[in-house]
Amino acid sequence: MDITEGDPRRALVGLIGAAALSIALTGCAVAPGGTGTPSPAAVSSSPDSATGAAGDSPPQYSLNKRHHDRTELTAEAEAQLQGARTRVLQELSALPAPVAEDAVVTALSDAGAVDTWSTTDLADGTVHFETAAEESGCLIGTVTRAGSAAIEVGGWVLDGGCHALDGH
């Protein structure tokens, strides 16, 4: 039995959905000029070109990783983050060597950082982290097993938070 049988609203929803899908799929194949064939300016044969597209892919594909970009910090936000950076460096410098990832995460939390993403490099034991601080932005850093820490300040990533989600 047809699911739209007897219910005109379902039939209308089905038709609208099919039309929207058709428009969306057609939109992917249509060049800016409105024809079905992309112009040479709309595609690139080199990923290093201005569009960043490769082969016959749409130029918009070069924007696929924009969610990894960070927002710009205001002067006020940067000043707040620098204060948080100083507190975090003090907490990290108090850690006994060899420094482990769980100790780094605890030190970050003790210094007021939240939503921490961390990982340990198995080759040398360096802990990498990205964490939110002062509701202003992010602290991005590393701590070696010997306890040497390096921290930078940065804005939020465009898809939210301080760490761009892997697999996007």
Q: pLDDT 10s digit of each residue in the chain, 168 long?
A: 454 455 666 655 555 555 554 444 444 443 444 444 333 333 333 344 444 445 555 566 555 555 567 778 889 999 999 999 999 999 999 999 999 999 999 999 998 899 999 999 999 999 999 999 988 899 999 999 999 999 999 988 877 788 876 654
Amino acid type, 121:
D
* pTM score over 0.85: no
The one-character DSSP state at 74 is: P
pLDDT at 69: 74
- Is 159 in contact with 67 (CB distance < 8 Å)? yes
Please name the residues in contact with 76: beta carbons below 8 A apart, sequence gap of 6 or more: 136
- Is 90 in contact with 139 (CB distance < 8 Å)? no
Closest CA relative to residue 88, chosen from 135, 124, 132, 146? 132
CA R_g for the chain: 24
Please count the other Cβ atoms lying within 10 Å of the Cβ belonging to residue 141. 22
Closest CA relative to residue 56, chosen from 42, 73, 70? 42
- Is 139 in contact with 81 (CB distance < 8 Å)? yes
- Is 81 in contact with 151 (CB distance < 8 Å)? no
Q: How many alpha carbons fall within 13 Å on the CB side of residue 5?
A: 3
Give the residue extent of every domain in the chain: 8-65, 75-154
